[in-house]
Amino acid sequence: MRAALVFLLMAGAGQAQDTPDFAAIGTLFADRCVICHSGTDAPLGLHLDTYQGVLNGSDNGPVVIAGDAQSPLLQRLRGQAEPQMPLDGPPFLSEAEITLVANWVAAGMPEGTATFAALPERPRPAPGADVLWSDVEPIFLKVCAKCHSDNSKVGGPPEGLRLDTWEHALAADERVAVVPGNPEMSEIWRRITGLADPRMPHDGPPWLPEDDIRLIRDWIAQGARAADGTLAPIPVGARIRLRGVLTGETEIDGARFTVDGGTRIDDLPAIGGQAEMRGEVQPDGTVRATRLRDR
């Protein structure tokens, strides 16, 4: 996809009077934008996967205005309005790519006669089917990356958690958010279900639909695999902290852990009471409690 786009840009650069049409613009949008701006849950209703969708704009109004070099979309692409787009940048669009869009707008946004084939929407895996990063990535980019990325609208990713790439989602810089194979111990799943505070997304309600929550849970339970099927590594030694209801002697909100002679236990609550567990991820993906106390 990127190679085809570079060819289009080079071809345009060699023709001083060349006017790009939507076939060229659509290729660019398909490469960098439509993973979020397509489908029924496109942010602010903005669809960039069809010519008419671009013209329709968003819930806030038009995003491109023929001949207007300060159209809202161009301002977002240049970083003149926040957040800069694409939301998972950097890297953002190159100067050549932004110029391509600007030239199209300046020329009156011609549709052209060439057919642009929008990327087919990936079918959502059914319950029990294999789930890869590419299946959950659109959820994280559309809903979470506006805060949880280096391009965060809040000045930086909260708690250092970035959800714009597979590698970032698995990072354990402060506390691990994904324990592959163990969704009950994964902070991401706990936050989107409301088991942990604050519930996410932070600007909810509305919260994530149950089908999105199910898909993320299945992804974690199956090993949090990359888009190519690679299993995520177990973050051995990563820190875990759970706060919730003690639902068993060694279980908080259904998340099971182990206790041994090295576990510090302070004022253990009765089952049904509030408790806090701090622990470490073991090589098999389970969690050993280092401290358990009443909350």
Burial class (CB in 10 A: 0-12, 13-18, 19+), 159: exposed
Give the whole-number percent of the chain exceeding pLDDT 70. Answer: 91
- Rounded to the nearest integer, the mean pLDDT of the chain is 89
Q: What are phi and psi of 161, to 5 degrees?
A: -90, 120
Measure the CA–CA gap between 58 and 68, rounded to whole angstroms.
17
**Residue 227 pLDDT exceeds 60:** yes
User: Can you read off the two tokens belonging to residue 241?
Assistant: 């902290």
Q: Helix, strand, coil: what percent of the chain each, to 5?
A: 30, 10, 55
pLDDT of residue 100: 94
In one-letter notation, the amino acid at residue 136 is V
Q: pLDDT-based confidence at 15, cuts 50/70/90?
A: very low
Quick count: other Cβ atoms within 10 Å of Cβ 99? Answer: 16
Distance CA 44, CA 83 (A): 14
Q: What's the confidence (pLDDT) of residue 6?
A: 40
Rounded to 5 degrees, what are φ and ψ at 78?
-85, -15
Q: Which tokens hold the place of 56?
A: 């329709």
Phi, psi of 100 (to 5 degrees): -60, -45
CB 101 within 8 A of CB 91: no
Buried b (16+ CB within 10 A) or exposed e, 56-82: ebbeeeebbbeeeeebbbbbbbbeeee
Asked whether 175 and 159 are in contact (CB, 8 A), the reply is yes
Residue 265: DSSP 8-state: E
Taking 50 as the threshold, does the pLDDT of residue 148 lie above it? yes
Question: pLDDT confidence of 13, banded at 50, 70, 90?
Answer: very low
Q: Where are the domains of the chain?
A: 2-106, 133-221, 239-294
Residue 89's pLDDT band, with cuts at 50, 70 and 90, is confident
Of 2-11, 236-245, 267-276, where does mean pLDDT reach its minimum? 2-11
User: Which range, of 57-66, 218-227, 239-248, 262-271, averages the lowest pLDDT?
Assistant: 262-271
Chain centroid to CA 190: 16
CA-CA distance, 137 to 227, in Å (whole number)? 9
* Residue 122, pLDDT above cutoff 80: no
